[in-house]
Structure 1
Amino acid sequence: MTPLRTHPIGVLRLNCRLARLPLQLVDDVAMVHLDRQAPARLAYQRFLIGCDRTAAYLLNDETAARRAAASSPSPVPARGPILANQILCGVRRRWA
């Protein structure tokens, strides 16, 4: 790349990292108090990973790519079968 093109990309990377600081602070301070399987915590983790992947792709940011690869969202238990079982039990109780 030419020096004229690399300079604006570097500025964008810096802005992206600065914009991520408050998001990381919320994750470090507030989200740790939630259960590991709490929907809000899982959604926030996925949001941060999505932001890192986007920055890695658009800005060719290796730091964001490493951060996205290192932080995988917690596995979510299969809720479909559990919900179906709860619905069936509710229907059985109603008819019993």
Structure 2
Amino acid sequence: MTSKTKRAQYTLEFKLEAVRLVKSGQSMAVVSATLGIRAQTLHNWVKAEREGKLTGAGMKPVSPEQMELARLRAEVARLKMERDILKKAAAYFAKESV
């Protein structure tokens, strides 16, 4: 008995937003973790977009609220990363001045 797993399908809008986040400077690892997709999938979307071949599934479109939520999650992840870097830098310079 074999069970076939159903592949996730994403709309073009969702894919374009994910690609936009990567192009805005966020790492693929952060964007893929934030959006809940595999890093390889995101890499394929970026490559397809660059080649003009990115297409979306014929599913129900992602709502503006879902797009905003994905954008905000990515922004929160970026801000947490920046905060952690600043914490480490502050600790380093505090230790150095003693």
TM range (shorter): 0.3 to 0.5
Give the greater-gyration-radius structure (CA). 1
Greater relative contact order (Cα 8 A, min sep 6): structure 1 or 2? 2
TM-score scaled by length of structure 2: 0.32
Structure with the larger helix share:
1
